[in-house]
Structure 1
Amino acid sequence: MDFMARVTAVVGGVMVALRRFGAPQTQAVGATPAIPQPRKQGIMTLKMPTAQGWAPGQLPQAAPGLKVNAFASGLDHPRWIEVLPNGDVLVAEAKEQPSPPRTLMDRAAQATMRRARAIGDSADRISLWRDADGDGVAEIREVFLDGQNQPFGMALVDGTFHVGNTDGIVAFPYQEGQTRLTGPGRKLVDFKPGGHWTRSLIVSPDRSKIYAGVGSLSNIGDRGMEAEEGRAAIWELDLASGTARIFASGLRNAVGMAWEPVTGALWTVVNERDGLGDETPPDYLTSVRDGGFYGWPWCYWGQTVDDRVAPNPQMVARAITPDYALGGHTASLGLCWMPAGTLPGFPDGMVIGQHGSWNRSTLSGYRLIFVPFAEGRPAGPPRDILWGFLSEDEKFSYGRPVGVAIGPDRASLLMADDVGDIIWRITGA
């Protein structure tokens, strides 16, 4: 641990201890969450466990009736998963690239992120994993695509494979069973890179469009709104015409996306702003309307104004209240729809990979959860699927959940763990 990391740990420990006094004891979760009044932090609470990884034979804890095994291991910061029609599993391996620090807080944050293995050299590749013998463990590993720019989202449409790099969407020709793509690809749309750098992708049900999540550059427009143009949004790319537009905005960092089959609505999970307290505001799961505005940076959870941002009453009045709160700073990233019966005892609903907090006095997230749905809406409290990614004293992380997908057999879940460098497979016990 270098000098800055030591200083950060000492100062951060003091700030965390002070902020535990009066901190909320319950999470802001559900359709009508109790969101505490904001408590401006000034110096941000900076608490993140040191990345340790899993010991041999150590596993996450699974809900009753479920079991977990390593489907693939030895990856380099796996973030996102795409299952191809032939059963091959693609994994995007990428990491945040630190920009030159502008303030002492930037230096402290970067030192903390390095200790947590959250930033550093990026593999910038997509690997292919094949479980040819069907035993739930991949025995074939190939480099499917390399030389990318922080690849994340992936989408296959009619023989064309799309990659969500941090600076845009690139397309490559693909044939079923192919284990490696070559060539530079064809750029379809440009995005501003960096900041919240992930670019998740999802294909529309009719296969005519691709939606992409593009996060904000900063916490609350810290570098001016001109720098945020085209960001904090979900984009829609029309594949026939090649035109792209902003589909919904005011979404600080919309990452995972999923289609809800009853209503046909697009849903996403959003990471909300920092610096207002342990549970304020909560990250959330929400349906997304065409042309909808969801508040960032001027307000949160409907019309709750963030007075750290220059007033904009017109935009505040437009803000749509999200559907379902997921707790403060859980860093809910992964999202997929799970049909009833995929796992025993689980009805229809959404699976969410919670990467875990850094901006709160007691850590939150660091688990894989399930939100039940009925008639197209969330219908009850979240349930844990996997947990045990943190040491009991919160000093170390064995793993951190990110992307999730239904397994090739349609009777399992796959989850990327970017600290354990593992793809976990969850099935009935």
Structure 2
Amino acid sequence: MTSRIRLALLLLPLLGPAAAHAQQYPVGWGPNPALPAPERSLIPTINVAKADAWPQGTRPTPAAGLAVTAYASGLDHPRWLYVLPNGDVLVAESNKPGNAPKEKGIRAKVQGLAQKEAGAGVASPDKIILLRGFRPDGTADTKVTFMQGLTSPFGMALVGTDLYVANADALWKFPYKTGATSITATGTKVLDLPSGINHHWTKNVVASPDGKKLYITVGSNSNAAENGMEIEKGRAAIWEYDIASGKSRIYASGLRNPNGMDFQSQTKALWTSVNERDELGNDLVPDYMTAVQDGAFYGWPYSYFGQHVDARVKPQNPDMVARAIVPDYALGAHTASLGMTFYNADLMPQFKNGALVSQHGSWNRKPHSGYQLVFVPFTNGKPSGPPQNVLSGFLGKDEHAYGRPVGVAVDKTGAILLADDVGNIVWRITPAATTQGATK
């Protein structure tokens, strides 16, 4: 053994888990992904995993030591989850608004047909379902319609006795009473949100740890500004809303399509998962998650993963490119990493303080990517190693999609909940030795 190797081994524990696993990151993952040269083609890559029902008796495959059951099935395109303080679980049944202006052109038509084949073409139910308790088989004891008549609802957040719901076009507030199984009040519109064509329609909302501010995601109205920047005002951003004053502002921008948001328990920093742009090749551009800095710009549309210029965007803006911040952690190209939450419970200590990321799966990459729930370990508030599989098997050997992961949450018992909008199921993940019922 050379002295150089001996020194490296001695230093390795001091460098932390990221250094120990530096060579084990999958392509397009981690804090320093190798990015290939962009590839352009006249016809975009279409590789749709056709949506099919789960075959009788099948379910996703949990990682070793874990078990999975269907907490609720027979749902209608469940997209997002929110766990109330009393343990009730809210499920937003939602899809793209049916009355939104449609994008024009052959490319938009082809992509629309592909997404329909992938299970994204159903009408929006515009409802929120409430799940409560457990039956002996581990399914929800109560499944009722909690709210209806919404407009493509997605994110939900409770602050005091106010339940905030982020619709596709506005943030609304509704009165909530602990234990209620329905809300029929009209509610109050809090904030109009950019809508229109709604290339990216999902709007998420989370409350700050002190309950004083709300943060709302607004995706871009295009892939890479091909519809012009005029319609992108206020989009590709995270907004901050001050509850006391009613004032709002853009908190961070250049985020093509932010979805998942959560506050990291050790640092209290806001993190988000972001879907990056398409049509630059199978391995460009990786989706990512990142700590969100106040006033920061993350590149879209002018550049990606820092200051890698997207030559398709005209005119360019060198000043904005120079400002672009490199995201903290790449999540693989075209994985459609939608859900993201930090695990702060005690039931599965191997996940403590790390991030759970749900990957809806690609429709425009060969081979497919995503279609899984992964865990990214954190140390001292920062990602510290390669992703670990939590739940897979959503993509069958015949390359049909039996499910597509979306929202992810942690219930009051510490179990992990995952919304599957193709399987129309909410899956529940626990230690393999744990009874699938309530807390002991």
Q: Report the TM-score when normalising by structure 2.
A: 0.89
Q: How large is the RMSD of aligned CA atoms in angstroms?
A: 1.5
The total of aligned residue pairs comes to 403
Counterparts of 1:135 and 1:88, CA distance in 2: 18
Structure 1 position 204, deviation (Å): 0.1
Deviation per CA, 1:176-233: give whole Å up to 9, x if none: 0111111321011111222200011111000001101100010011111110000000
Structure 1 position 393, deviation (Å): 3.6
Counterparts of 1:238 and 1:347, CA distance in 2: 30
**Do the aligned partners of 2:347 and 2:413 also contact (CA within 8 Å) in 1?**
no
Matched, 1:142 2:144: yes
Structure 1 position 119, deviation (Å): 2.1
**2:204 alignment counterpart:** 200
**1:185 alignment counterpart:** 187
Counterpart AA for 1:32: N
Structure 1 position 133, deviation (Å): 5.3
Matched, 1:78 2:78: yes
Deviation per CA, 1:37-86: give whole Å up to 9, x if none: 10013211111111102122211000000000000011110000001111
**1:379 alignment counterpart:** 384
**Do the aligned partners of 1:407 and 1:413 also contact (CA within 8 Å) in 2?**
yes
Counterpart AA for 2:426: I
Secondary structure at the counterpart of residue 227 of structure 1? helix
Matched, 1:312 2:317: yes
Counterparts of 1:424 and 1:79, CA distance in 2: 12
Deviation per CA, 1:13-48: give whole Å up to 9, x if none: xxxxxxxxxxxx962110111111100132111111
**1:37 alignment counterpart:** 37
Counterparts of 2:190 and 2:102, CA distance in 1: 29
Q: Out of 369, 375, 384, which is 1:370 matched to? A: 375
**Do the aligned partners of 2:78 and 2:94 also contact (CA within 8 Å) in 1?**
yes
Counterparts of 1:120 and 1:418, CA distance in 2: 10
Structure 1 position 312, deviation (Å): 0.5
Deviation per CA, 1:220-274: give whole Å up to 9, x if none: 1111111000000001111111111100000000000011122111000000000
Structure 1 position 308, deviation (Å): 0.4
**1:424 alignment counterpart:** 427
Matched, 1:391 2:375: no
Secondary structure at the counterpart of residue 116 of structure 1? helix
**2:50 alignment counterpart:** 50
Structure 1 position 329, deviation (Å): 0.6
Counterpart AA for 2:122: G
**1:327 alignment counterpart:** 332
Structure 1 position 281, deviation (Å): 1.4
Secondary structure at the counterpart of residue 105 of structure 1? helix
Structure 1 position 407, deviation (Å): 1.2
The aligned runs of 1:59-70 (5 Å cut-off) are: 59-70=59-70
**1:415 alignment counterpart:** 418
**1:293 alignment counterpart:** 297
Counterparts of 1:319 and 1:344, CA distance in 2: 36
Counterparts of 1:132 and 1:305, CA distance in 2: 51
Counterparts of 1:69 and 1:281, CA distance in 2: 34
Change (3 A) 1:181 1:57: same
Identity of aligned residues (%): 51
Counterpart AA for 2:420: D
Counterpart AA for 2:105: T
The aligned runs of 1:209-358 (5 Å cut-off) are: 209-310=213-314, 311-339=316-344, 341-343=346-348, 345-358=350-363
Instruction: Pick which of 39-48 and 214-223 moved more.
Output: 39-48
Secondary structure at the counterpart of residue 397 of structure 1? coil
**Do the aligned partners of 1:344 and 1:428 also contact (CA within 8 Å) in 2?**
no
Counterparts of 2:354 and 2:208, CA distance in 1: 19
Counterpart AA for 1:282: P
**1:20 alignment counterpart:** none
Counterpart AA for 1:402: V
Counterpart AA for 1:372: P
**2:133 alignment counterpart:** 131
Secondary structure at the counterpart of residue 117 of structure 1? helix
**Do the aligned partners of 2:118 and 2:363 also contact (CA within 8 Å) in 1?**
no
**2:90 alignment counterpart:** 90
